[in-house]
Amino acid sequence: MFELGALIVLLLGALAAVGLVVGTLVRLFFVVVLLPIKILAALAALAGVLVGLPLAAMGVGAILLGLVACVLLAPIVLPLMAIAGGLWLMGRR
Give the model confidence (pLDDT) of 49-66 as tens digits: 776 666 666 666 666 666
Containing 42, the helix (H) or strand (E) segment is: helix 35-56
The winner for highest mean pLDDT among 6-10, 14-18, 63-67 is: 14-18
Cut 0.85: pTM above it: no
- Closest by CA to 82, choosing from 21, 23, 45, 39, is 39
Instruction: Give residue 12's Cα distance to chain centre.
Output: 32
Instruction: Please report, for residues 24, 38, 42, 85, 92, the alpha-carbon distance to residue 34 in angstroms, rounded to integers and kept in the order given.
Output: 15, 6, 12, 11, 18
Q: What percent of the chain has pLDDT over 70?
A: 60
Residues 6+ apart with CB under 8 A from 44: 70, 73, 74, 77
